[in-house]
Structure 1
Amino acid sequence: MNGALLVAAGAAVGAPLRYLTDRAVRARRDPLLPWGTFAANLLGSAVLGLVTGAVQAHGASPQLQLLVGTGFCGALTTYSTFSYETLRLAESGARRWAAVNVAGSLTAGLAAVYAGWGLAGLIG
């Protein structure tokens, strides 16, 4: 299968999962912070770390990287929504919560990608 089709196939799963994750989390959490976007981005970061680690450490197929890393994780995660929701917090007067959203998302996202990458190194 060519690269573009692999990316599209992964995105066809990642995009609906992102929507469903956002809806499920919003139904259970305080709406002040964008927890749905946070959860989707955290999950996508962990999966991307795991897949990247598997490709690097264990010679997993580059096609797996396209399907899951680029397609699935690319559609599951969303920098644009994160940015918009942070801007909306700041404009509504919740500047501290906007800063918490930025710091928390960046810290947790980096920790998740690193944890996924580390887990891939342990699985062997």
Structure 2
Amino acid sequence: MKIILLIGIGSFIGGISRYLLSLFIQNKFLSTFPFGTLGVNIMACFLIGIVFGLSERGNFNMEWRLFLATGFLGGFSTFSSFSMETVGLLRDGQMWQAFTYIMSSMVICLLATFIGISLIKLL
């Protein structure tokens, strides 16, 4: 039960943080391109790389890893919003923006995770 509560609390905090940060980022751009979700997902991927890098070194026990990775970062990142925003761009005929969003999400997010893990290995 303790693990379920830790994941739930982390997810609650992560979801609210995602919403607020995504709005903040999106409001900085006068564009239909979903910069808010992209920015949040890049941050989440970088942070999950750090969390797993630290976990591999034994810096986090299982409870902290579940709270941070499954709970907070699971609530913070959002594949469903990415999917819906992509479908919206496609539906609106914004093929180039949809392609750019898909490719930048895949490439930059994977790179961010790799950088997060690599950064911890360097320290």
Q: Distance in 2 between matches of 1:71 and 1:43?
A: 15
Q: Which residue number in structure 2 is paired with residue 107 of structure 1?
A: 107
- Identity level (%): 28
Q: Distance in 2 between matches of 1:18 and 1:121?
A: 27
Counterpart residue type for residue 112 of structure 1: A
Question: Structure 1: which 5+ residue stretches go unaligned?
Answer: none
Q: Which residue number in structure 1 is paired with residue 69 of structure 2?
A: 69
Q: Which residue number in structure 2 is paired with residue 117 of structure 1?
A: 117
Counterpart residue type for residue 54 of structure 1: L
2:59 is equivalent to residue 53 of structure 1: no
Question: Structure 2: which 5+ residue stretches go unaligned?
Answer: none
* TM-score after normalising by structure 1: 0.93
Q: Which residue number in structure 2 is paired with residue 40 of structure 1?
A: 40
**Counterpart contact for 1:25–1:35, Cα < 8 Å:** yes
Q: Distance in 1 between matches of 2:30 and 2:119?
A: 31
* TM-score after normalising by structure 2: 0.94
State the Cα deviation string for residues 83-108 of structure 1 (Å, max 9, x = none): 00001001101011101000000111
**Counterpart contact for 1:51–1:64, Cα < 8 Å:** no
